[in-house]
Amino acid sequence: MNKRFTSTINDSISKQDDILVKEDNIINHKDILNNDVNINSDGQKSKFKLTKTQKNKIVKKAFPLYLEDDKSRKLDSICKKIGLSKNELINKMIDYSLENLELEF
């Protein structure tokens, strides 16, 4: 393929992803990278930082994860923009959730 055609395709995909992200009420990827701030239930701000995962030799367990199609598409779109695999992003989200979890019984 020629470079102009490839560039046009890539631009089109990028624009479609931006539209998909905005339509699905996900924070724009620029906001994720620049303003990765979440609000806790107590009103305090806490950051959810996304960085590239470094290779390590941690024992890992695999299990099936079933997602609704729209959630899977949202994750794919975010992953494409920030350069993480879906598995890396989900692991980071789980780490954040476990660190900030409060159990009430």
Distance CA 74, CA 26 (A): 8
Distance CA 20, CA 12 (A): 12
Q: What is the pLDDT of residues 33-70, one digit of tens each?
A: 444 445 555 666 677 777 776 677 778 888 899 999 99
Q: Is the pTM value of this prediction over 0.85?
A: no
Domain ranges of the chain: 3-99
CA 47 from chain centre, in angstroms, equals 14
Q: What is the pLDDT of residues 73-91, one digit of tens each?
A: 999 999 999 999 999 999 9
Nearest C-alpha neighbor of 36 from the set 49, 22, 26: 49
Distance CA 12, CA 56 (A): 36
